[in-house]
Structures are given as structure tokens and as C-alpha cells.
């Protein structure tokens, strides 16, 4: 399997997970079970869907759209992301979503940070309490573009304006490192171990906030989840780990699914989409990490075809641009320490 196949797998895996989780996002696990049984197919957003009402089956959400926005900025900036340019791009994206009639807008951490930036606060301060999963959900392109010591600095640069906390950076670093390792051909246990190491390093960056640390929760969940059967896994994650937008719940939930179901992409994404809570983000993170490991050829072809068609996605140029960055000094683009 080629590096390009793995890079495309990360991008399309993210999109498939995002679209699969779209109709179930913000619903309870019990409500999802009542409506759909398990979410093992691409479904439309119901008229009463709180965030994505009446969205066609297979539609991607903010997870994929913001990831592709970040990818474009990385390629245009030769691996660098200017925080003010990123803030402007996120604001323009939200205005476009409003014009399209979507309720899937900027998350609470990002919205608050951009308001602070507009009010004149320095970028290093605007994300001082960003502890949600917004940085982690969109960080996969950083993992494709970086393979060396510059990975953590690049993650921080993508986090600083909105999620400049140990929790926000640690969660994003975990996802980026797992994707980077997968694109590089590592096996899944090695990729998850890399995620844990990156979360430890990332958790020491940014502003301190209270909350269970990403690396420690990730280390714990790997051992805990291995003791569960697949049937026990979904209710246990819902009830013990949590599925909210908090980074130290939803990102950890994604890695629990990867730990137990990582050999079966469809099973992992189905479980993620059926969990309740922030299903689109949990499934998107699962899809990005597993897509990087299994490659685009290892993704469910029926889901891939539908998501590509519905969203008119052609990510070849995006993957190639990110891999060109990765090839530059091993993915280290003269990055500065922030």
C-alpha cells in the first residue's frame, strides 16, 4: 500500500465517519437506537435533527470542511498556518454555512476565541480556555503533512488561536500523531502508542485548565477497553468515557473504538455513529486514524462512493499537496517553536 493511498484514506476516512455520524449527532444513544437501530448506513438528517436538519444522506459537516480548510492553509503556507489567516478563514466558513442554511456552525471554544481576536486580544491568549474537540477534529491534514520533530509545533500552530490549552493541544496532537504514523506505514498499535506520546508532550503546551489529562486518559482507556466485548463497548464508552464535545471525552472515545475495533473500519465507524453525543466528530476521528492505517482501498467502498458523490469530493490534489510538504525534510518545514 502506498503512502498516497494512506493519505487519501485519512482524508476520506474522516469524511465517511463525519457523514455517517451526521444524522445522530447530539442525540442520546437510546434515541439513536429507537430511531435507527445501529447507524450502519448513510442516513439523512431528520427534520428535527438539532444540528443538521434535512441534510441529505452522506453529507459531511464541520469536521471535514474545517479539516479541508486547514489543509488548504497548510499547502498555501508551505506548512505554516498563520493564526490570523486561520481565524479569518474560519469566520468566512461560518458565514458560508449560515448562507447555506446550516446550523452546524463554529463550536463554543472556536467562537469565543474568534470573538476575542476580533476584540484585539493577542492570538496567544484567545484560545486560553479551549478544551473542546474542535482542534482535534480538523487536525488530520497536519498528520499527513508532518512526519518528524516538527509535528507538535505544527499541531500547536493549528490550535493556538482556538484551543491553546493542554487539553486542546494534547487531543489534537494525539490524532495528528496517529494519522502521521499510519500514513508512514506503522501498524495500529504503534500509531496509537505514538498518539499517547504526542498527547503527553502536547498536554504540557498551552494554558493550564482543569480536567482529566488526554495522555493519561488515553493510556487508561486502551487497557480498559481491551477487557470489553464489542457488545459491551458502546454502552460502556457512553456511560464511562463520555461522548460530549469535551476533548477528554470524545477523543478518548474514538481511541477506545480504535483499540477494540480497529481491524474492521465499518464496525468501528458504525459503533462511533451509534454512541450518542458528538457522533460525527468521534466517527470522523476514527475514520481519519483508521483510514491512514488501512488506506483508501481499505475503506467501505459503498460509503466512500456515496460520500464522494453527495459532496462532490475529489481529494487527490489535497493529499498530493500535503504529501509534498511531508517530503520536505521529513515533514519539518523550518518550523519555529511557539
Grid cell in block for residue 129: 480556555
Rounded Cα gap, residues 300 and 125, in angstroms: 42
Q: Which three cell numbers stand for residue 153?
A: 509545533
d(CA 150, CA 317): 23
Based on C-alpha coordinates, what's the Rg of the chain?
18
DSSP H stretches of helix in the chain: 3-21, 29-36, 62-76, 83-99, 108-118, 123-126, 134-137, 140-145, 151-159, 166-183, 188-202, 214-226, 230-236, 247-261, 265-273, 279-294, 301-311, 316-326
Which class for 57: exposed (0-12), middle (13-18), buried (19 or more C-beta within 10 A)?
middle
Instruction: Dig out the grid coordinates for 230 from the structure.
Output: 464489542
Q: Are 269 and 20 in contact (CB under 8 A)?
A: yes
Q: Residue 61 annotated as binding?
A: yes
Q: Is 280 known to sit in a ligand binding site?
A: yes
HSE, CB side, 13 Å, CA atoms: give it for residue 137: 32
Can you spell out the DSSP letters for 91-146? HHHHHHHHHTT------HHHHHHHHHHHTT--HHHHTTT--BSHHHHT-HHHHHH-
**Mutual orientation of helices 247-261 and 166-183 as an angle, nearest 10°?**
30
Is 62 annotated as ligand-binding?
yes
C-alpha cell at 102: 446550516
Residue 63 among known ligand-binding residues: yes
- Tell me if 153 is assigned to a ligand binding site: no
Residue 316 counted as an annotated binding residue: no
Give the residues across from 132 on adjacent strands.
Answer: 246
Binding residues: 61-63, 278, 280-281
Binding residues for Mg(2+): 61-63, 278, 280-281
Amino acid at each position: 500500500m502506498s503512502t498516497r493511498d494512506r493519505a487519501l484514506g485519512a482524508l476520506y476516512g474522516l469524511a465517511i465517519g463525519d457523514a455517517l455520524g451526521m444524522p445522530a449527532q447530539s442525540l442520546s444513544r437510546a434515541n439513536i437506537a429507537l430511531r435507527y437501530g445501529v447507524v450502519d448506513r448513510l442516513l439523512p438528517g431528520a427534520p428535527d435533527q438539532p444540528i443538521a436538519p434535512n441534510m441529505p444522506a452522506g453529507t459531511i459537516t464541520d469536521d471535514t470542511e474545517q479539516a479541508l480548510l486547514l489543509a488548504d492553509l497548510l499547502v498555501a503556507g508551505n506548512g505554516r498556518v498563520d493564526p490570523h489567516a486561520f481565524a479569518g478563514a474560519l469566520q468566512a466558513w461560518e458565514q458560508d454555512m449560515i448562507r447555506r442554511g446550516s446550523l452546524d456552525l463554529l463550536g463554543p471554544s472556536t467562537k469565543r476565541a474568534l470573538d476575542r481576536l476580533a476584540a484585539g486580544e493577542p492570538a496567544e491568549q484567545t484560545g486560553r480556555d479551549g478544551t473542546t474537540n474542535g482542534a482535534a477534529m480538523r487536525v488530520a491534514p497536519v498528520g499527513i503533512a508532518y512526519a518528524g520533530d516538527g509535528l507538535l509545533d505544527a499541531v500547536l500552530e493549528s490550535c493556538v488561536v482556538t484551543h491553546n490549552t493542554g487539553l486542546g493541544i494534547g487531543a489534537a496532537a494525539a490524532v495528528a500523531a496517529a494519522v502521521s504514523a499510519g500514513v508512514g506505514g506503522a501498524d495500529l498499535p504503534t500509531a496509537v502508542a505514538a498518539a499517547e506520546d504526542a498527547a503527553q508532550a502536547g498536554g504540557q503546551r498551552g494554558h493550564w485548565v482543569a480536567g482529566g489529562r488526554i495522555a493519561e486518559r488515553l493510556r487508561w482507556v486502551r487497557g480498559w477497553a481491551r477487557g470489553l466485548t464489542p457488545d459491551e463497548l458502546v454502552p460502556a464508552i457512553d456511560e464511562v468515557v463520555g461522548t460530549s464535545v469535551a476533548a477528554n471525552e470524545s477523543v478518548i472515545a474514538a481511541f477506545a473504538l480504535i483499540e477494540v475495533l480497529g481491524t474492521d473500519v465499518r464496525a468501528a465507524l458504525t459503533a462511533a455513529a451509534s454512541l450518542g453525543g458528538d457522533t460525527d466528530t468521534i466517527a470522523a476521528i476514527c475514520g481519519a486514524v483508521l483510514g491512514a492505517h488501512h488506506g483508501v482501498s481499505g475503506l467501505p467502498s459503498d460509503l466512500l462512493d456515496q460520500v464522494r458523490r453527495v459532496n462532490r469530493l475529489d481529494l487527490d490534489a489535497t493529499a498530493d499537496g500535503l504529501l509534498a510538504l511531508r517530503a520536505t525534510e521529513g515533514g519539518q518545514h523550518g518550523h519555529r517553536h511557539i
